Structures are given as C-alpha cells and as structure tokens.
Amino acid sequence: MQDIEYTEEQVMIRDMARDFARGEIAPYAQAWEKAGWIDDALVAKMGELGLLGMVVPEEWGGTYVDYVAYALAVEEISAGDGATGALMSIHNSVGCGPILNYGSDEQKQTWLADLASGQAIGCFCLTEPQAGSEAHNLRTRAELRDGQWVINGAKQFVSNGKRAKLAIVFAVTDPDLGKKGISAFLVPTATPGFVVDRTEHKMGIRASDTCAVTLDQCTVPEANLLGERGKGLAIALSNLEGGRIGIAAQALGIARAAFEAALVYARDRVQFNKAIIEHQAVANLLADMQTQLNAARLLILHAARLRSAGKPCLSEASQAKLFASEMAEKVCSSAMQIHGGVGGLGGLPGGGYYRGAGGTQNFEGGR
C-alpha cells in the first residue's frame, strides 16, 4: 500500500523500527517464544531507541512525536515479533500513560524518565479472577493507616507482571461508594507483599509475560495515590483510546508478517508445474488478505490522527482494535492454508502467527 502522506519524521520512525525489527527481533522471535521471555538486552535497546517512551513528551524524558508515528512503530515491531509488540504497546499505553495524565509532578519526575528509557517497565493491575471488564466489582482493598496505604487482594492477567519495576494497582478505597470508591496506586514491584504467583502458559505471544499477582499487606506511602481518591475507574478507562490504537497496530503487524510470509511461499512453491500464486484460488486469497490489511491500517491511522489532534476517539479506536484483531485471526488462518501441510507446524510462518493473532482480541477489552 502506498504511503498515506506521512510526514518525514513519521517515515523516519517507521523505517527505524522496521530495520530494528528485521535485524534484531525477527531472527530471535521463535527462540524467545519457546523460552517464554524476551531477551533483557533487547528490551534495553528498545529503550535506547526511544520505543518505550513514545507517548511521553520530551520534557519528561520521552520521545513523543504523535500517535501516527507510534502506531507505525508498534506495527513494525509486532511484525518482527508479536510478543515484543505487546510489551511495547502495553508499557507505553497503560504503563506510562496514567502517570503522564494523572501523576503529580513529583510522581512524573520519579518515574517517567526511567519508564521512557526502559530502565523500568510498567504493568497495569486491574483485572481480577472475578472482575475482568466488570472493573467496578473489584475485591482488592486499600486502607489508609498512619499515612500509608495497605493493599490486599489478587490480580490476574497482568502483562509485563514479572518484568515490571512499577505496577499501577487499582483497589477499592471506599466500598460504600461503588464505582466512585476505586482508587489507583503506584506500587514498586520490589515492595514487600507484592508477589508474582505465576506466569501464565498462554497459547500465543508467550514471550510476553502475563502473570497472576497477589498483594498481601503491600504497603506504600500515602503520596503513591495516583490522581484523586475515588477516580481509579476513570483513570483505568481513560487509557482505552491510546491502548486500543496500540493493540490494533500490534494485530496489524502480526497479520502483515503472516501475509508477507505467505506471499513469499506462494511465489516459491510449485504445484502442477507453476507457482501456486498463479492458481486463481491462491491469488484471490492473497488479494483478500491484502485488502483486509489495508482497511485495518486506515482505521488505525484515522484513530491515531484524531488522538494526536487531542480529539475524542474512543469509538474510532475501538473500531480499529475490533476490526484489526478479528482481521488478524482471519489473515493468519489464510496464511496457514496457503502454506499447506507445513502451515500448522510450530514455526512462525504458520501456527505461530495464528496463535499470536488470537491473543490481540482480548487485550484492552474483548468483544
């Protein structure tokens, strides 16, 4: 697809991310997926390149340009490895975003530069075993005792939970107030009582650690309250626009990589004395795949441009995320079919892309 009038800076960022993904991510993606862990040196390099502070302005140590550049970068990193794209998107949107938008100057000074540089990775502790999208049904409690918040509860599906140095934890501070009784807290993961119980064994995107966490008498200073008391649900929901743009771009990157692998295979694989791309059924399938990819990109870029302009775009971001994540599953399935018998094997040209695409439907809220 021809460039859609990107700025010179957006093109530069996209090309940098693409070169980095192809040279330093894609060759190792299968090994990381098998190990269930992204190499620490790679994450540090992402920080050095500014990929982990793309929603943070320069004044706080970040590399913010706009959300179009961010979406393009997430797509390229995800094309190299969906798990690395997940780490990048989640860290930027729900690791850095809430502190940038709701943190005090002291909280920003303490954390944003380290988060933007990758010296610290963030995680977002909202979901609980009994409360996924029903965030107002949280059972985690935070009590103010002698100038400190004491937090008790359990969290589930915490992306970056094992790697993170800082957790944004949501807990009920005023049970009688319902949705208005939830607050957000900055909790360094080295705090006693913050315990990573296990790393989940996922179907795909396994190199991105997803954890179950227990908070047992986990105590932080009163100043670690993020935003106002009782505004936790608003803080959680405020990240949906940027977060869904990022996940949509991740899904697009995974699907594009599957399409490109299928295209190469279709040109090389010979059946009945000609490359299978010359068979109409295969050619039609590839054309449909590319059409779906281009449609998803347009939805993502529209939402990203609205977000960059400071305009509300929750509906547009949600549409982009819904369409891109469902498109990714279909495109990756088609890529497996084009690969024929080898399509379902463990390598990334087949089943690996499909397993990764499925996970994007649940990130940042399922259907």
Q: Where in the sequence numbering do the catalytic residues fall?
A: 364
Which token pair is 332? 């990756």
Residue ranges of the alpha helices (H) in the chain? Answer: 8-20, 29-35, 40-48, 67-80, 82-90, 97-102, 105-117, 232-238, 240-268, 280-308, 314-338, 353-359
Determine the length of the chain. 367
Query: How crowded is residue 229: how many other Cβ atoms within 10 Å of its Cβ?
Result: 16
Would strands 166-172 and 122-125 be described as parallel, antiparallel, or unpaired? parallel
**Alpha carbon distances (Å) from 252 to 65, 239, 248, 348:** 21, 20, 6, 16
Amino acid at 271: Q
Helix 240-268 and helix 280-308, axial crossing angle in degrees, nearest 10? 160
Distance CA 238, CA 241 (A): 7
DSSP per-residue codes, 141-160: EEEEETTEEEEEEEEEEEET
Amino acid at 219: T
